[in-house]
Structure 1
Amino acid sequence: MMLQEANTYSIAGTAAVAAVSDDIRHANSDRREVRRVIISGYLGCAIEFYDFLLYSTASALVFGPVFFGNLSPLMSTVAAYATFAAGYLARPLGGIIFGHFGDRLGRKSMLVITMWMMGIASTLVGLLPTPQTIGWAAPALLLLMRIIQGLAVGGEYGGALMMAIEHGDQKRRGLFASLIHIGAPTGTLLSALAFGLVKLLPEDQFLQWGWRVPFLFSALLLIIGVYIRNRISESPLFLEALKREGEMSRFPLAHLLRFEWKAVILAVVTAAGPLAVFIVGATFTQTYIRNLGLDSSIALFALAFANGVNLVWFPVCAHLSDKYGRRPVLITGFLLSILLIGPNFLLVSTGDPILTVLAFWLLGSFAAGLLYGPMGAFLSEKFSTKTRYTGASIGYQLGSTLGAGLTPLIVTWIFASTGGTSVVGVGAFLAVFCLISMLCVVLSPETRQTDISH
C-alpha cells in the first residue's frame, strides 16, 4: 500500500516537474521569440529609415544642383524639397494599403514586402542618370523612387510597432514600442554619418559620384533585412483575434472612420508636431547653415551625435511613460521643445562646432526623447486589434505628411521671404505646431493601462 502511494506520488511529482519544465521551456521560447521580434523590428526600421532619410539629406545638399541645376540655388532646393515631400504624401497611402492587409491577413508578410520596396527604390536612386543624360526623365524617375519609398515606410512603421507591442510584456508596452522607434534615430545616425563621410570628398567629386555611395549601400542592407524578417513569427494577439472572430474586419479603414475617427484625428495631430521639429533639424538646418556660409558637415555630425544619444534616451523616456503615464511625459516634451526652438537656432548660427552639437542635442535628443519615447505606444493603444495596424499607421503617417512632408517647403519659403536673413518666422511656426499637438495630448485619455487584447 505504502509502495503504491509512493509510486503514485512519484508519478504525480514527475508529471508536475514535467509540466513545470514545459512551462519553463515555453516561457524561454516566448522570451527568445520576443527578442527576435524586437531585434527584427528595430533593424528593419533602422534600415528603412536609413534609406528614407538619405533622401532628406540629399534633398538639402545634392538633388538641387544635380537634378534641378537650371534653377537658382534657393529655388533648386525648393524643387528638391518638393520631390522630398512626395514621399511623405505617399506615406499615408502606404499606411492604408499595408494596414488594410496587415489587419486582415497578418503583420509579418506586409513587413517583408515593405522591406523589398524600400531597398530596391533606394538602390535605384543611387543608379539614376542625371538630366544631362536622359533629360526630364531623371527628375521624374527620382520622384517615382521617392513615392515608392513613401509607400514602403508608410507600411513599415505600423507593422513593426504592432509586432513589438503585441508580442511583448503588456506592462512594458512603452519600452517595447520605443525599441522599434529607435530604429528611426539609428537610420538617421547611419544616413548622417554616411553623407558626412562622402561630404569630405572634394565638392566636384561629391556631386559627381560621392553622393551615390550611401544609396548603393542599401542593396546590402536589403539582403540583411529580408533575412531577418523571414525568421519571425506572426503576432499572437492577431492570431488570437482571428481565432476568436473567425474573420477580421473586411474594411478596417471604414471601421476606423465610422467608430474611431476621433482617435485617428488626435493621433494625426499629436504626431505632427514632433515630426515637424525633427525634419527641420534633418533638412532645413542644413540649408540654413550653408546659407550662413558655414560647413554643412558640422550639422551632419551634430545630427549623428544627437541620434546616437537617442538610442539610449528614447527607451529611458518610454520607461518613464510605463511608470508615470504617456500624457505627462509627452506634455513635458512639448513644453521643452517650444522653449528650446529659439535657442537652437541661436546656437547653430554661431558656427561653433561644440555649440552646434549642443543645439542638436537639446532639441533633437533631450526634448525629442520625451516625445518619441512614448509616442509608439500612445498611438497604438488608441485602437483595437482588428484595426490597430491601420489606425496607428494612418495616425503616424498622416502626421508625417502634415508635420514633416510639407514643413521643409513651408519653412524654406518663410526663410526666403525674409531674404534669407531671419529664422524668427520659422521658429514661431514650429512653436505653434508643437502647441497644437500638445493640446491634442491634453484632450486625449491616458492609455498606459488600456487592455489591447481586444
Structure 2
Amino acid sequence: MTEPATHQKTPLKATIASWVGTTLEYYDFAVYATASSLVFNHIFFPKELSEGVALMLSLATLGVGYLVRPLGAFILGPLGDKFGRKFVMMLTLFGIGGCTFLIGCLPTFGDIGAAAPILLVIIRMIQGLSLSGEQAAAISMTLEHSPDHRRAFTTSFVTSGSAAGGLISTAVFIPFVALPQEQLMSWGWRVPFWLSAVVVIVAYVIRRTLEEPPAFFEVQAVEVKLSPLKQALQFHWVSIIRIALCAMIAGVSYLFATFSVGFATTGYKLDKPTMLWVPVLASLLALVYTPAAGLLADKIGRKAVFAIGAAGAAITTVPYLWAITVGNWPLIFVLGVICNGLFYSTANAAWPSFFAEMFPNRVRVSGLAVGTQIGFALSGAIAPVAATALAGADLHDWVGPSVFACVLGVLAVAAALTAKETGGQTLDEIDESKQSEREKAAVAAATVPA
C-alpha cells in the first residue's frame, strides 16, 4: 500500500472533475425528465387515455428511476468506500450515458404496443441504479480534497453541475419542441438522447486522471473486516434517516422541472418553447449563485443556509403554480426563477457538505448514498405523480400540488434543525466526533493486525 503522505490534495482538479462530470451526467438524467413531461405521454401510451392519465403514467416512468435508487445506493455506496470514489464515478458514467442513448433508440407504442413502455421502464431502472452512487462519490471526492474552510464552497459545484446539466438538456430540447408536432414525435425527441454518446466521451476524458483523496488512502492503509455498509447502518442510522427526510425537498425541484411544465402546457395550453425557458433561466441563475451560497454556508453554517433555502423553495412554489393558472408570463418567469434558481439553489449549495459531514471517512459514501437516495426516491417517485393526481383529470387544480410542496418543505426543514453544525470543524475532527465509543470498539475489534 502506498504511503498516505505521498498523496496530495488537489481541490481544483477534484472540483472541476466533479462539476463537469456531474453536469454531463445530469444532462442524461434531466433530458428524460423533460421528455417525460412533453413527449412520452403522447408516444409511449395508448391514445385512448385522457391527457391527465397519460401525463401521470409518463411521469411515473420518471419516478421508477428514483424508486430503484436506494438499491443502487446499497451497492455503489460501499464500493465507493472500499474501492474508491473515482471507481464509482467512472462506473456510473457509462451506466447513465448508455441508458440515455438506448432510450433514444426505442420504438414507440405505435410500433410495438405495450412492449414500448415496458422497455422504457426497464432502461429507466438501470439508469436509476447507475445514478444512485454518482453524487455521493463526487461529493466525497471533492469534500476530502478541499481545504477545511472551503468545503461547502467546493462541494457546491457538484450540485451546481446538476443545475448545468438541467440547463443544457432543457436548452437542447427547445429547438426540437418548436418543430412541427409530427417531426417532434417521430424523430426530434430522439436527438437529445443520442447526444449522450458525446457526453460519455467528454466526461471520461475529464475524470480518468483524477486521484483519490489522501484521506481515502489513510483509511485503506488499515484493513478492517467490517463492511462500510454494515458500519453505516449500525452506527449512523439516525443520520441516514435525517438525510432522507432533508432530501425530500428535492421533490419541490421535481415539481418545478417536470410537473409544472406538463401542468402549464397540457392543462392550461401554454406555449411549450416559452415554458421551457423558465427552467433555463432558473438554471442560469443557479450556475452563478450556487457557489456563492456555498461560500455563505462556509461563513454562517450549513444548517441555516439549507433551512432557509428549503423553506423558501417550498413557499414560493405556491404563487408560481398560481401564476401558471392565470397565464401571467412575467410572474411565471419571476416566480419560477426565485423558487428554483434562488431558494432551491440555496439549499442545493449547502446539502453536499451538510450531509457528507454527518459521517466519518470510512463510511462517507455509503451513508451519504443511502440517505440521499432514499429521500430522492421518495420525493422523485411520488412528487410529480402525486402533484399530477392532485391537479385533477383536467390538470387545472393548483392548490393541491401547492400544499404538497409545502409539506415537503416542512419535513426537510424540521429534519435539518435536528442536526449538529459541522462547519467549524476540520475533517479529522468530524471523523473523530462522528464515531461513538461503540463504533470505535467495533472497528478496532475488526481491524486486521499489520
Amino acid at match of 1:190: I
Q: Does 1:66 align with 2:33?
A: no
Query: 2:248·2:411 contact (CA, 8 Å) conserved in 1?
Result: no
Cα distance in 2 for residues equivalent to 1:212 and 1:250 = 46
Cα distance in 2 for residues equivalent to 1:95 and 1:168 = 24
Note the residue ranges of structure 1 that are not aligned, 5 or more in a row.
1-25
1:213-272, CA deviations, whole angstroms, 9 ceiling, x for partnerless residues? 1000001111111121111111211111111x234x642222122111111110110111
Query: 1:41·1:161 contact (CA, 8 Å) conserved in 2?
Result: yes
Q: Does 1:332 align with 2:346?
A: no
2:28 equivalent in structure 1 = 51
1:278-322, CA deviations, whole angstroms, 9 ceiling, x for partnerless residues? 000101101111111111222211101101110111111111110
Q: Does 1:272 align with 2:252?
A: no
TM-score between both structures, scaled by the size of structure 2: 0.90
Cα distance in 1 for residues equivalent to 2:379 and 2:59 = 14
Q: Out of 3, 9, 15, which is 1:38 matched to?
A: 15
Cα distance in 1 for residues equivalent to 2:386 and 2:109 = 27
2:294 equivalent in structure 1 = 318
Cα distance in 2 for residues equivalent to 1:334 and 1:166 = 26
Map 1:51-450 → 2, pairs under 5 A: 51-70=28-47, 71-243=49-221, 245-247=222-224, 250-273=226-249, 275-290=250-265, 291-416=267-392, 419-450=394-425
- Percent identity between the aligned chains? 31
Rate the CA distance shift 1:415–1:383 in 2: closer, same or farther, 3 A: same
1:22 equivalent in structure 2 = none
1:183-231, CA deviations, whole angstroms, 9 ceiling, x for partnerless residues? 1100110111011121111111101110001000001111111121111
Give, in angstroms, the shift of residue 45 of structure 1: 0.6
Cα distance in 1 for residues equivalent to 2:366 and 2:30 = 23
Cα distance in 2 for residues equivalent to 1:112 and 1:416 = 42
TM-score between both structures, scaled by the size of structure 1: 0.90
1:331-373, CA deviations, whole angstroms, 9 ceiling, x for partnerless residues? 2223323432222122233334332221211101111122111
2:444 equivalent in structure 1 = none
Cα distance in 1 for residues equivalent to 2:83 and 2:359 = 18
Cα distance in 1 for residues equivalent to 2:113 and 2:400 = 37
DSSP-derived class of the 2:64 partner? helix
Which one has a bigger Cα radius of gyration? 1
Give, in angstroms, the shift of residue 152 of structure 1: 1.4
Query: 1:310·1:365 contact (CA, 8 Å) conserved in 2?
Result: yes
Number of aligned residue pairs: give it.
Answer: 423
Cα distance in 1 for residues equivalent to 2:98 and 2:314 = 38
Instruction: Detail structure 1 runs of 4+ shifted over 3 Å in the superposition.
Output: none
Cα distance in 1 for residues equivalent to 2:175 and 2:395 = 28
Amino acid at match of 1:220: V
Query: 2:78·2:227 contact (CA, 8 Å) conserved in 1?
Result: yes
Amino acid at match of 1:448: G
Amino acid at match of 1:53: A
Give, in angstroms, the shift of residue 34 of structure 1: 2.4
DSSP-derived class of the 2:269 partner? coil
Give, in angstroms, the shift of residue 415 of structure 1: 0.8
Query: 1:285·1:299 contact (CA, 8 Å) conserved in 2?
Result: no
1:107-145, CA deviations, whole angstroms, 9 ceiling, x for partnerless residues? 111111100111110001111112333333221211111
Note the residue ranges of structure 2 that are not aligned, 5 or more in a row.
432-450
Q: What is the RMSD of the two structures over their aligned residues, measured on CA atoms?
A: 1.7
Cα distance in 1 for residues equivalent to 2:289 and 2:162 = 13
1:435-454, CA deviations, whole angstroms, 9 ceiling, x for partnerless residues? 12101111111121244333
DSSP-derived class of the 2:46 partner? coil
Amino acid at match of 1:334: A
Query: 1:189·1:303 contact (CA, 8 Å) conserved in 2?
Result: yes
DSSP-derived class of the 1:345 partner? helix
Amino acid at match of 1:435: V
1:5 equivalent in structure 2 = none
Give, in angstroms, the shift of residue 85 of structure 1: 0.7
Query: 1:298·1:356 contact (CA, 8 Å) conserved in 2?
Result: no
